[in-house]
Amino acid sequence: MVRASWFEIPVTDLDRAVAFYEAVFEVTLERDASEGEEAAYFPAGDGPVGSAGALVKGDSYVPSIDGTRVYLEFADIDGAVERAVAAGGAVLFAPTEVDDTLVAEIRDSEGNRVALRADLEDPEDDLDDELERLLDSDGGDALDS
Amino acid sequence: MARAMWFEIPAADLDRAAAFYEALLGGPLERDVVDGHPAAYLPAPDGEGAAGALMHGDSYVPSPDGTRIYLGVDDVGAAIARAVAAGGSLLYPATRVGDLVVAEVSDSEGNRIALSSPV
C-alpha cells in the first residue's frame, strides 16, 4: 500500500520554469531555498486529495522527457495546453478522453514531460443515475403489484 | 491548484517491475490495460497523496532523471533493504530532512524513486 506524498519537477533555470508554470496553471508559486537547493512550491490548495509538489534546481535534478510521469489535476486542459505552447513548451499528447478523464501531455520549459488531467464526470450525472435507479425500482414495484 | 492526482512509473519489463514493487511494498499489484498500455496498479490506502501505476509502452521510458515522486513508507531503512534485495540500488542514503527521513533508490527499471517516512 503506497501513495506519493510529494513530487518534484527538476529545472535548470528556476526563473524560467516558475514563469512557465505560473503562466500555464494561472497560479503563483512560492520561492524557497532549502538544503542549498533552489525550489518553488506549487500552491497546495485545500487537499486532502492528491499530492503537492515543487520545482527544484540542484545537482541531482536533471530534467528529462523520460522517467516518472505525474498527472496534475487541472480543469481547463485546453487552455493550459495553449498557454504551455505560448510560454515555450510543446504538446506531446493532445487532449484525449481516457475513461472519465481528459488527459494531455506537455513538454515544459525545462524539457520535462508533464501530464494534465481533468475529471470529466459531471456531478449532474450522479443525480441522473440516482433518478434512473428510483424510476427502475418504481417500475419493478408496479409490475409486482 | 496543480496537485498531482496520479503518477506513472515507466517499466521496460512489466513483470520484473511488478515483482520489484511487490517486494518493496509487500502486496500484489493488480494488472490492467490502460489506453492500450499494459499496467500494474500500486495498491493505495485511502487518504492524502497520489496513487499510481507501473506502465509499459512506447512513451514510457525509464530514467533516473525527470520528475521525482516521494513514496510514503513506514520505515525508510527497511524499504531500502527490500529494494536492494529485489534488484534495486541505493542512490541517496536515508537522511533526515525536517520531520522526515528520505532516501532515493533506483528501481529494477532504472527509475529514481524517493522514499519518505516520518522520523
Residue A129's CB: how many other CB atoms inside 10 A? 10
Question: Do B50 and A7 count as a contact with CB atoms less than 8 A apart?
Answer: yes
Query: Phi and psi for B109 in degrees, rounded to 5?
Result: -100, -10
Residue A45's pLDDT band, with cuts at 50, 70 and 90, is: confident
CA-nearest of B118, B32, B105, B23 to A5 is: B118
pLDDT single digits (tens) A53-91: 999 999 999 999 999 999 999 999 999 999 999 999 999
Class of domain B6-118: alpha beta
Whether B49 and chain A come into contact, CB under 8 Å, resolves to yes
Stated pTM of the model: 0.88
pLDDT single digits (tens) B26-68: 889 999 998 899 999 999 988 889 999 999 999 999 999 999 9
Q: Which residues of B touch A9 (CB under 8 A)?
A: 67
- H-run or E-run covering A138: helix A123-144
Look at residue A46 in the predicted model and tell me its pLDDT.
64
For residues A142 and A48, the model is more confident at A48
Cα–Cα distance between B65 and A65 in angstroms, integer? 9
Whether B8 and chain A come into contact, CB under 8 Å, resolves to yes
Look at residue A144 in the predicted model and tell me its pLDDT.
47
For residues A43 and A132, the model is more confident at A43
Per-residue buried b or exposed e for B60-86, using 16+ beta carbons within 10 Å of the residue's own CB: bbbbbbbbbbbbbbeebeebbebbeeb
Cα–Cα distance between B51 and A70 in angstroms, integer? 10
Question: Do A2 and B112 count as a contact with CB atoms less than 8 A apart?
Answer: no
| Partner residues linked to B41 by β-bridges | B30, B53
Residue A140 has pLDDT above 50, yes or no: no
Residue A77's closest chain B neighbor by CA? B2
For an interface test with B, which of A29, A70, A77, A117 has the most B Cβ atoms less than 10 Å from its Cβ? A70
How far does the CA of residue B93 sit from the closest CA of chain A (Å)?
A: 14
The vertex-B19 CA angle with B15 and B23, nearest 5°, equals 170
Give residue limits of the domains in chain A. 7-144
Look at residue B81 in the predicted model and tell me its pLDDT.
98
Three-state SS letters, A114-132 = EEEEEECCCHHHHHHHHHH
Residue A1 has pLDDT above 50, yes or no: yes
Residue A137 has pLDDT above 70, yes or no: no
Looking at chain A, the number of H-run helices and the number of E-run strands are: 3, 8
CATH ID of A7-144, from 3.30.70.260, 3.20.20.70, 3.10.180.10, 3.50.50.60: 3.10.180.10
Look at residue A142 in the predicted model and tell me its pLDDT.
46
Residue A139 has pLDDT above 70, yes or no: no
Q: What percent of chain A has pLDDT over 90?
A: 68
Question: Do B70 and A7 count as a contact with CB atoms less than 8 A apart?
Answer: yes
pLDDT single digits (tens) B62-116: 999 999 999 999 999 999 999 999 999 999 999 999 999 999 999 999 999 999 9
Q: Are B50 and A8 in contact (CB under 8 A)?
A: no
Whether A36 and chain B come into contact, CB under 8 Å, resolves to no
pLDDT single digits (tens) A4-29: 999 999 999 999 999 999 999 999 99
pLDDT single digits (tens) B2-11: 899 999 999 9
pLDDT single digits (tens) A85-130: 999 999 999 999 988 999 999 999 999 999 999 998 765 665 666 6
Look at residue B1 in the predicted model and tell me its pLDDT.
65
- Partner-chain residue, chosen from A9, A48, A114, that has the shortest CB–CB distance to B48: A48
